Protein backbone atom coordinates (compact mmCIF):
# COMPACT_ATOMS: atom_id res chain seq x y z
CA UNK A 1 0.00 0.00 0.00
CA UNK A 2 1.50 3.31 -1.03
CA UNK A 3 1.18 6.67 0.64
CA UNK A 4 -0.43 7.88 -2.57
CA UNK A 5 -3.32 5.42 -2.10
CA UNK A 6 -3.97 6.83 1.37
CA UNK A 7 -3.83 10.37 0.03
CA UNK A 8 -6.18 9.53 -2.86
CA UNK A 9 -8.70 7.86 -0.55
CA UNK A 10 -8.62 10.71 1.98
CA UNK A 11 -9.22 13.24 -0.79
CA UNK A 12 -11.94 11.12 -2.40
CA UNK A 13 -13.86 10.95 0.88
CA UNK A 14 -14.45 14.70 0.87
CA UNK A 15 -14.42 15.32 -2.90
CA UNK A 16 -17.32 16.93 -4.76
CA UNK A 17 -18.56 18.80 -1.71
CA UNK A 18 -19.75 15.50 -0.24
CA UNK A 19 -19.47 14.36 3.36
CA UNK A 20 -19.39 11.18 5.42
CA UNK A 21 -22.32 9.36 6.92
CA UNK A 22 -21.65 7.97 10.38
CA UNK A 23 -23.79 4.84 10.72
CA UNK A 24 -21.41 3.16 13.14
CA UNK A 25 -23.49 3.24 16.32
CA UNK A 26 -22.60 0.35 18.57
CA UNK A 27 -25.48 -1.99 19.42
CA UNK A 28 -25.98 -0.24 22.77
CA UNK A 29 -26.29 3.20 21.15
CA UNK A 30 -28.45 1.98 18.28
CA UNK A 31 -30.73 0.13 20.71
CA UNK A 32 -31.06 3.26 22.86
CA UNK A 33 -32.27 5.24 19.83
CA UNK A 34 -34.63 2.43 18.83
CA UNK A 35 -36.01 2.14 22.36
CA UNK A 36 -36.94 5.83 22.38
CA UNK A 37 -39.22 5.15 19.39
CA UNK A 38 -40.51 1.73 20.45
CA UNK A 39 -38.55 -0.08 17.73
CA UNK A 40 -37.49 -3.65 18.64
CA UNK A 41 -33.87 -3.76 19.79
CA UNK A 42 -32.84 -6.78 17.73
CA UNK A 43 -30.12 -7.63 15.25
CA UNK A 44 -32.80 -7.97 12.55
CA UNK A 45 -34.19 -4.48 13.22
CA UNK A 46 -30.69 -2.98 13.19
CA UNK A 47 -30.03 -4.70 9.85
CA UNK A 48 -33.34 -3.40 8.43
CA UNK A 49 -32.43 0.13 9.49
CA UNK A 50 -28.98 -0.08 7.93
CA UNK A 51 -30.47 -1.55 4.72
CA UNK A 52 -32.86 1.41 4.55
CA UNK A 53 -29.88 3.78 4.79
CA UNK A 54 -27.56 2.04 2.36
CA UNK A 55 -30.23 1.60 -0.33
CA UNK A 56 -31.67 5.12 -0.06
CA UNK A 57 -32.01 6.47 -3.62
CA UNK A 58 -29.73 9.47 -4.18
CA UNK A 59 -27.56 8.90 -1.09
CA UNK A 60 -24.35 8.83 -3.13
CA UNK A 61 -25.05 12.32 -4.52
CA UNK A 62 -24.03 13.82 -1.17
CA UNK A 63 -22.19 11.06 0.69
CA UNK A 64 -18.62 10.07 -0.21
CA UNK A 65 -18.06 7.53 2.55
CA UNK A 66 -20.09 5.67 5.16
CA UNK A 67 -18.78 4.41 8.51
CA UNK A 68 -20.10 0.97 9.48
CA UNK A 69 -20.13 -0.89 12.80
CA UNK A 70 -18.64 -4.39 13.16
CA UNK A 71 -22.08 -6.05 13.19
CA UNK A 72 -23.15 -4.18 10.03
CA UNK A 73 -20.08 -4.92 7.94
CA UNK A 74 -20.83 -8.62 8.48
CA UNK A 75 -24.50 -8.27 7.42
CA UNK A 76 -26.06 -8.35 3.97
CA UNK A 77 -28.81 -6.51 2.14
CA UNK A 78 -32.04 -8.31 1.23
CA UNK A 79 -30.48 -8.82 -2.20
CA UNK A 80 -27.64 -10.77 -0.55
CA UNK A 81 -24.91 -8.14 -0.96
CA UNK A 82 -22.59 -7.44 1.98
CA UNK A 83 -23.24 -3.85 3.09
CA UNK A 84 -19.68 -2.80 2.22
CA UNK A 85 -20.16 -4.08 -1.33
CA UNK A 86 -23.58 -2.43 -1.66
CA UNK A 87 -22.03 0.90 -0.64
CA UNK A 88 -19.06 0.52 -2.99
CA UNK A 89 -21.39 -0.38 -5.89
CA UNK A 90 -23.32 2.82 -5.19
CA UNK A 91 -20.11 4.87 -5.32
CA UNK A 92 -19.78 5.33 -1.54
CA UNK A 93 -16.47 4.35 0.10
CA UNK A 94 -17.06 1.89 2.95
CA UNK A 95 -15.38 2.50 6.29
CA UNK A 96 -15.45 0.92 9.74
CA UNK A 97 -15.44 2.07 13.37
CA UNK A 98 -12.60 0.19 15.07
CA UNK A 99 -12.53 1.48 18.63
CA UNK A 100 -14.22 -0.68 21.21
CA UNK A 101 -15.62 2.18 23.22
CA UNK A 102 -14.78 4.77 25.86
CA UNK A 103 -14.04 3.14 29.24
CA UNK A 104 -13.54 4.77 32.68
CA UNK A 105 -10.03 6.18 33.01
CA UNK A 106 -8.38 4.81 36.14
CA UNK A 107 -7.85 7.42 38.83
CA UNK A 108 -9.82 10.07 36.93
CA UNK A 109 -13.48 10.13 37.94
CA UNK A 110 -15.80 11.33 35.18
CA UNK A 111 -13.27 10.74 32.42
CA UNK A 112 -12.73 8.00 29.86
CA UNK A 113 -10.09 6.53 27.63
CA UNK A 114 -11.06 4.85 24.39
CA UNK A 115 -9.99 1.23 24.07
CA UNK A 116 -9.43 -1.14 21.16
CA UNK A 117 -5.69 -1.11 20.40
CA UNK A 118 -5.08 -4.75 21.42
CA UNK A 119 -5.36 -6.93 18.32
CA UNK A 120 -6.13 -3.91 16.15
CA UNK A 121 -3.55 -4.82 13.48
CA UNK A 122 -5.31 -8.14 12.89
CA UNK A 123 -8.80 -6.60 12.94
CA UNK A 124 -7.76 -3.94 10.42
CA UNK A 125 -6.47 -6.63 8.07
CA UNK A 126 -9.81 -8.42 8.32
CA UNK A 127 -11.83 -5.25 7.72
CA UNK A 128 -9.66 -4.39 4.70
CA UNK A 129 -10.44 -7.86 3.29
CA UNK A 130 -14.13 -7.09 3.77
CA UNK A 131 -13.82 -3.94 1.66
CA UNK A 132 -13.23 -1.17 4.22
CA UNK A 133 -10.95 1.59 2.93
CA UNK A 134 -11.00 3.84 5.95
CA UNK A 135 -11.55 3.56 9.69
CA UNK A 136 -12.71 5.67 12.61
CA UNK A 137 -11.79 5.97 16.30
CA UNK A 138 -13.41 8.37 18.77
CA UNK A 139 -11.77 9.75 21.90
CA UNK A 140 -14.13 11.48 24.32
CA UNK A 141 -13.29 14.55 26.40
CA UNK A 142 -15.77 15.93 28.94
CA UNK A 143 -15.79 19.52 30.22
CA UNK A 144 -16.69 19.96 33.89
CA UNK A 145 -15.44 21.02 37.27
CA UNK A 146 -11.69 20.47 36.97
CA UNK A 147 -12.21 18.57 33.71
CA UNK A 148 -10.69 17.70 31.41
CA UNK A 149 -7.47 16.67 33.12
CA UNK A 150 -4.19 16.72 31.27
CA UNK A 151 -3.97 12.97 31.72
CA UNK A 152 -7.27 12.39 29.94
CA UNK A 153 -6.29 14.55 26.98
CA UNK A 154 -2.88 12.86 26.75
CA UNK A 155 -4.03 9.25 26.85
CA UNK A 156 -6.78 9.81 24.32
CA UNK A 157 -4.48 11.70 21.94
CA UNK A 158 -1.86 8.97 22.30
CA UNK A 159 -4.41 6.23 21.53
CA UNK A 160 -5.76 8.16 18.52
CA UNK A 161 -2.25 8.42 17.08
CA UNK A 162 -1.45 4.73 17.70
CA UNK A 163 -4.70 3.78 15.99
CA UNK A 164 -3.99 6.14 13.07
CA UNK A 165 -0.51 4.73 12.51
CA UNK A 166 -1.85 1.16 12.50
CA UNK A 167 -4.57 2.15 10.01
CA UNK A 168 -2.09 3.65 7.60
CA UNK A 169 0.13 0.58 7.90
CA UNK A 170 -2.91 -1.49 6.84
CA UNK A 171 -3.74 0.88 3.96
CA UNK A 172 -6.81 2.36 5.64
CA UNK A 173 -7.32 6.11 5.98
CA UNK A 174 -7.77 6.98 9.67
CA UNK A 175 -10.56 9.33 10.66
CA UNK A 176 -9.24 10.87 13.86
CA UNK A 177 -12.13 11.89 16.12
CA UNK A 178 -11.33 13.68 19.36
CA UNK A 179 -14.77 14.75 20.60
CA UNK A 180 -15.18 17.47 23.22
CA UNK A 181 -18.69 16.83 24.53
CA UNK A 182 -21.51 19.41 24.56
CA UNK A 183 -22.81 18.19 27.96
CA UNK A 184 -22.69 20.84 30.67
CA UNK A 185 -23.19 24.55 31.16
CA UNK A 186 -19.77 25.73 29.98
CA UNK A 187 -19.36 28.73 27.70
CA UNK A 188 -18.32 28.83 24.05
CA UNK A 189 -14.99 30.30 25.19
CA UNK A 190 -14.35 27.33 27.51
CA UNK A 191 -15.15 24.88 24.72
CA UNK A 192 -12.76 26.78 22.44
CA UNK A 193 -9.99 26.60 25.06
CA UNK A 194 -10.43 22.86 25.62
CA UNK A 195 -10.84 22.00 21.93
CA UNK A 196 -7.68 23.93 21.09
CA UNK A 197 -5.71 22.06 23.74
CA UNK A 198 -7.10 18.69 22.63
CA UNK A 199 -6.31 19.31 18.95
CA UNK A 200 -2.81 20.58 19.76
CA UNK A 201 -2.08 17.44 21.76
CA UNK A 202 -3.64 15.18 19.14
CA UNK A 203 -1.55 16.60 16.30
CA UNK A 204 1.59 16.49 18.45
CA UNK A 205 0.99 12.76 18.99
CA UNK A 206 0.17 12.17 15.33
CA UNK A 207 3.48 13.79 14.45
CA UNK A 208 5.41 11.91 17.12
CA UNK A 209 4.05 8.62 15.79
CA UNK A 210 4.77 9.40 12.13
CA UNK A 211 1.21 9.60 10.85
CA UNK A 212 0.95 10.90 7.28
CA UNK A 213 -1.21 14.01 7.61
CA UNK A 214 -2.15 14.00 3.92
CA UNK A 215 -3.58 10.50 4.35
CA UNK A 216 -5.98 11.14 7.23
CA UNK A 217 -9.09 13.18 8.04
CA UNK A 218 -9.99 14.98 11.27
CA UNK A 219 -13.47 14.57 12.78
CA UNK A 220 -13.77 17.21 15.51
CA UNK A 221 -16.62 18.81 17.40
CA UNK A 222 -17.70 22.29 16.46
CA UNK A 223 -16.83 24.89 19.12
CA UNK A 224 -20.13 25.30 20.96
CA UNK A 225 -21.48 26.42 24.32
CA UNK A 226 -22.62 23.57 26.60
CA UNK A 227 -26.17 22.32 26.11
CA UNK A 228 -27.15 23.88 29.47
CA UNK A 229 -25.17 27.10 29.08
CA UNK A 230 -27.25 30.19 29.85
CA UNK A 231 -25.91 31.92 26.71
CA UNK A 232 -26.45 30.06 23.44
CA UNK A 233 -24.25 31.84 20.93
CA UNK A 234 -25.28 32.78 17.40
CA UNK A 235 -24.52 30.71 14.31
CA UNK A 236 -22.08 33.42 13.35
CA UNK A 237 -20.19 33.26 16.66
CA UNK A 238 -19.97 29.47 16.51
CA UNK A 239 -18.64 29.58 12.94
CA UNK A 240 -16.01 32.15 13.88
CA UNK A 241 -14.86 30.37 17.05
CA UNK A 242 -14.71 26.98 15.34
CA UNK A 243 -12.69 28.15 12.37
CA UNK A 244 -10.34 30.19 14.60
CA UNK A 245 -9.67 27.09 16.71
CA UNK A 246 -9.03 24.89 13.67
CA UNK A 247 -6.71 27.44 12.06
CA UNK A 248 -4.59 27.45 15.22
CA UNK A 249 -4.29 23.69 15.43
CA UNK A 250 -4.88 21.73 12.21
CA UNK A 251 -1.94 21.55 9.80
CA UNK A 252 -2.65 22.58 6.21
CA UNK A 253 -1.50 19.17 4.99
CA UNK A 254 -4.68 17.54 6.33
CA UNK A 255 -7.10 17.29 3.38
CA UNK A 256 -10.36 17.54 5.27
CA UNK A 257 -12.15 18.34 8.50
CA UNK A 258 -15.47 16.49 8.80
CA UNK A 259 -17.44 17.58 11.84
CA UNK A 260 -19.43 15.32 14.16
CA UNK A 261 -22.83 16.73 15.11
CA UNK A 262 -22.63 15.79 18.80
CA UNK A 263 -26.34 16.13 19.57
CA UNK A 264 -26.99 19.46 17.80
CA UNK A 265 -30.40 19.78 16.16
CA UNK A 266 -30.06 18.68 12.52
CA UNK A 267 -30.87 22.04 10.92
CA UNK A 268 -28.68 24.00 13.30
CA UNK A 269 -25.71 21.74 12.49
CA UNK A 270 -26.30 22.44 8.78
CA UNK A 271 -26.66 26.18 9.37
CA UNK A 272 -23.41 26.34 11.36
CA UNK A 273 -21.46 24.38 8.74
CA UNK A 274 -22.97 26.60 6.07
CA UNK A 275 -21.89 29.78 7.84
CA UNK A 276 -18.31 28.51 8.17
CA UNK A 277 -18.18 27.81 4.45
CA UNK A 278 -19.81 31.10 3.44
CA UNK A 279 -17.38 33.15 5.50
CA UNK A 280 -14.15 31.21 5.39
CA UNK A 281 -14.14 28.54 2.65
CA UNK A 282 -11.98 30.48 0.20
CA UNK A 283 -9.31 31.07 2.88
CA UNK A 284 -9.05 27.58 4.37
CA UNK A 285 -6.40 24.98 3.51
CA UNK A 286 -8.70 22.00 4.22
CA UNK A 287 -12.22 21.09 3.14
CA UNK A 288 -14.85 21.78 5.82
CA UNK A 289 -17.22 18.82 5.61
CA UNK A 290 -19.53 16.72 7.78
CA UNK A 291 -19.51 13.24 9.28
CA UNK A 292 -22.85 13.38 11.07
CA UNK A 293 -24.78 10.54 12.60
CA UNK A 294 -27.72 11.95 14.57
CA UNK A 295 -27.99 15.17 12.54
CA UNK A 296 -28.52 13.09 9.40
CA UNK A 297 -30.22 9.95 10.69
CA UNK A 298 -32.59 11.17 13.41
CA UNK A 299 -35.34 12.70 11.20
CA UNK A 300 -35.34 9.52 9.10
CA UNK A 301 -35.46 7.29 12.16
CA UNK A 302 -38.39 9.30 13.52
CA UNK A 303 -40.19 8.74 10.19
CA UNK A 304 -39.36 5.02 9.94
CA UNK A 305 -40.45 3.90 13.43
CA UNK A 306 -39.48 0.34 12.51
CA UNK A 307 -42.35 -0.01 9.99
CA UNK A 308 -41.77 -1.39 6.49
CA UNK A 309 -44.53 0.89 5.19
CA UNK A 310 -42.45 3.95 6.19
CA UNK A 311 -39.22 3.00 4.40
CA UNK A 312 -39.65 5.29 1.39
CA UNK A 313 -40.58 8.35 3.44
CA UNK A 314 -37.69 7.71 5.83
CA UNK A 315 -35.24 7.37 2.93
CA UNK A 316 -36.46 10.71 1.60
CA UNK A 317 -35.92 12.34 4.99
CA UNK A 318 -32.41 10.88 5.16
CA UNK A 319 -31.43 12.04 1.69
CA UNK A 320 -32.93 15.47 2.34
CA UNK A 321 -30.54 15.93 5.27
CA UNK A 322 -27.53 14.71 3.29
CA UNK A 323 -28.42 17.19 0.51
CA UNK A 324 -28.81 20.00 3.03
CA UNK A 325 -25.33 19.28 4.36
CA UNK A 326 -23.80 19.08 0.91
CA UNK A 327 -25.34 22.49 0.24
CA UNK A 328 -23.80 23.68 3.53
CA UNK A 329 -20.39 22.61 2.29
CA UNK A 330 -20.85 25.04 -0.59
CA UNK A 331 -22.31 27.76 1.61
CA UNK A 332 -25.62 27.36 -0.23
CA UNK A 333 -27.79 25.90 2.53
CA UNK A 334 -31.15 27.67 2.85
CA UNK A 335 -33.12 27.59 6.05
CA UNK A 336 -35.82 24.94 5.65
CA UNK A 337 -39.54 25.42 6.26
C1 LIG B 1 -19.90 11.54 18.23
O2 LIG B 1 -20.44 10.44 17.60
C3 LIG B 1 -20.11 10.25 16.23
C4 LIG B 1 -20.81 11.25 15.35
O5 LIG B 1 -22.20 11.14 15.61
P6 LIG B 1 -23.05 12.46 15.87
O7 LIG B 1 -23.03 13.22 14.58
O8 LIG B 1 -24.42 11.92 16.22
O9 LIG B 1 -22.40 13.19 17.00
C10 LIG B 1 -20.52 8.84 15.82
O11 LIG B 1 -19.80 8.41 14.68
C12 LIG B 1 -20.31 7.89 16.96
O13 LIG B 1 -18.95 7.66 17.10
C14 LIG B 1 -21.11 6.66 16.65
O15 LIG B 1 -22.47 7.00 16.70
C16 LIG B 1 -20.81 5.51 17.57
O17 LIG B 1 -21.05 5.82 18.87
P18 LIG B 1 -20.91 4.66 20.01
O19 LIG B 1 -20.94 5.46 21.29
O20 LIG B 1 -22.09 3.77 19.86
O21 LIG B 1 -19.64 3.94 19.79
Instruction: Give the number of other Cβ atoms within 10 Å of residue 2's Cβ.
Output: 9
The single-letter DSSP state of residue 213 is G
At a CB cut-off of 8 Å and minimum separation 6, what does 273 contact?
Answer: 222, 259, 288, 290, 325, 328, 329, 333
Residue 69 CA: nearest ligand 1 atom is: 16
Q: What is the mean pLDDT of residues 236-257?
A: 98
What is the structure's pLDDT at 1?
61
User: Each residue of 299-314: pLDDT tens digit?
Assistant: 999 999 999 999 999 9
Dihedral angle of Cα 30, 131, 21, 193, to the nearest 10 degrees: 90
Q: How far is CA 7 from CA 162, 209, 216, 266, in A?
A: 19, 18, 8, 30
Residue 294 CA: nearest ligand 1 atom is: 8
User: Given 3-state DSSP classes, what are the helix, strand and coil percentages for the chain, each rounded to the nearest 5?
Assistant: 50, 15, 35
Single pTM value for the model:
0.98
In the reported structure, the alpha carbon of residue 138 is separated from the centroid of ligand 1 by a whole-number distance in angstroms of 8
> What's the mean per-residue pLDDT of the chain?
98
Residue 292, ligand 1, Cβ within 6 A: yes
Separation CA 50–CA 40 (nearest Å) = 14
- Helix 150-169 and helix 120-129, axial crossing angle in degrees, nearest 10: 50
In the reported structure, the alpha carbon of residue 27 is separated from the centroid of ligand 1 by a whole-number distance in angstroms of 12
User: Each residue of 7-59: pLDDT tens digit?
Assistant: 999 999 999 999 999 999 999 999 999 999 999 999 999 999 999 999 999 99
Share of residues in the chain with pLDDT > 70 (%)? 99
Residue 293, ligand 1, Cβ within 6 A: yes
At a CB cut-off of 8 Å and minimum separation 6, what does 224 contact?
Answer: 182, 188, 191, 233, 238, 262, 264
For residue 337, name the pLDDT band (cuts at 50, 70, 90): low
What is the structure's pLDDT at 335?
85
In the reported structure, the alpha carbon of residue 287 is separated from the centroid of ligand 1 by a whole-number distance in angstroms of 21
Domains of the chain: 3-330 (3.20.20.70)
User: Each residue of 190-221: pLDDT tens digit?
Assistant: 999 999 999 999 999 999 999 999 999 999 99
Amino acid sequence: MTAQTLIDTARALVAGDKGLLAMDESNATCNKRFAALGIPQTEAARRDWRELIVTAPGLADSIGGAILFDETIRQKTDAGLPFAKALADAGIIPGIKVDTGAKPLAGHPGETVTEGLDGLRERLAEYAMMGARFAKWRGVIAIGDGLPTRACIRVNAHALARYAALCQEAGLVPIVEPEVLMDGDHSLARCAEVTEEVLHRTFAELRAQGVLLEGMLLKPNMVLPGLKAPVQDSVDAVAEATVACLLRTVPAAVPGVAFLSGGQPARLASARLNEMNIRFRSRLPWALAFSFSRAVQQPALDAWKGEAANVAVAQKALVQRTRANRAARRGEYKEEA
